[in-house]
Amino acid sequence: MHLPRKLLRGDAVIGVILLALALWYGLEAQGFRPGRAGDPGAGMFPTLLALLLGGLALWLIVSALIAPPGAEETDPERRARQRAIALAGFIRAAIAAALSVAFVALFETLGYIIATGLYAAAISLLFRRDNLLITLLAAAGAVGFLHLLFSVFLNARLPMGLLG
């Protein structure tokens, strides 16, 4: 299967980022204690990994540049619709990622009950917004399930935060 032109261009960019990662990782490795006879040292294995990643990144860049592009959707209307769906999906997932970061940041302050309820409700709303009952069910389900699993069955101590 030939990959579409857009994805190939993306692969070339990823290759450049990976090349930079390999460079940083390899340079860091040079700062570790050098090896001696009978022990290659702490830096040798990471150095080899950096070289390997660098080589693979170059391979990715070259193959993205020389590969023949696959067929893309020719109908502009359908292409625009596909792009809009993909973008909406990406935004939903990116918001959920940001919500996960916020959940971690507020977990101890708000406590697990409030934080989990809000987090589950927000994620549920990202899936569908047309039914508030579903959202409430997801929030109550998440809090109830977590409470039963961690506090009741496993006797794990979770932060109570504002309710503590």
Partner 1 sequence: MLAELPDAITLFMGDLRLIGFVCLGVVLGVFVGAVPGLTATLAIALLLPFTFGMPALEAVVLMTGIFVGGIYGGSATAIMVRVPGAPANTMTMLDGYEMLKQGKPEVALGLATAASVFGGLVGGILLILFAPQLARFSLKFQSPEIFALVVLALVAVAAVSQQSLVKGLIATVIGLMISTVGIDLAGVPRYTFEMFRLYTGVPLIPLVIGLFALAEVLRRLEEPHSRPKQVAWVSFRRIFAFVPVWRQVGWKLPLKSSLIGAVIGALPGAGAAMAAFLAYAEAKRSSPHPEKFGTGIPEGIVAPEASNNAMTGGAFIPMLAFGIPGDAVTAVILGALVIQGIVPGPQLFSQAGDLVLPLMVGFIFAYLVLMIVGLVMLPWFARVAVIDHAVLFPIIAAVAVVAAYVSERSVFAMATMVAIGIGAWLMQRLHFSLVPVLLGVILGPLLERNFRRALGISGGDPAILVSSWIAVILLLTAAFMAFYFAWVQPRQQRRHEAQAAKARGEAENTGGGA
Nearer to partner 1 by Cβ, of 71 and 75: the residue is: 71
Q: Considering only residues 77-96, where is the footprint of partner 1 by CB under 8 A?
A: 85-86, 89-90, 92-93, 96
Q: How many residues does the chain have?
A: 164
Rounded Cα distance, 121 and 32, in Å:
47
19 belongs to the binding site for partner 1 (CB under 8 A)? no
1 belongs to the binding site for partner 1 (CB under 8 A)? yes
Rounded Cα distance, 95 and 87, in Å:
12
With vertex at residue 32, the alpha carbon angle to CA 31 and CA 38, rounded to the nearest 5 degrees, is: 135
Contact 123/99 with Cβ under 8 angstroms? Answer: yes
8 belongs to the binding site for partner 1 (CB under 8 A)? no
**Closest distance between partner 1 and the C-beta of residue 16, in Å?**
13
Residues that bind partner 1 (CB under 8 A): 1-2, 7, 10-11, 14, 18, 25, 28-29, 32-33, 35, 37-42, 44-46, 49, 52-53, 56-57, 59-60, 63, 85-86, 89-90, 92-93, 96-97, 100-101, 103-104, 107-108, 112, 116, 119-121, 123-124, 126-128, 131, 134-135, 137-139, 141-142, 145-146, 149-150, 154, 156-158
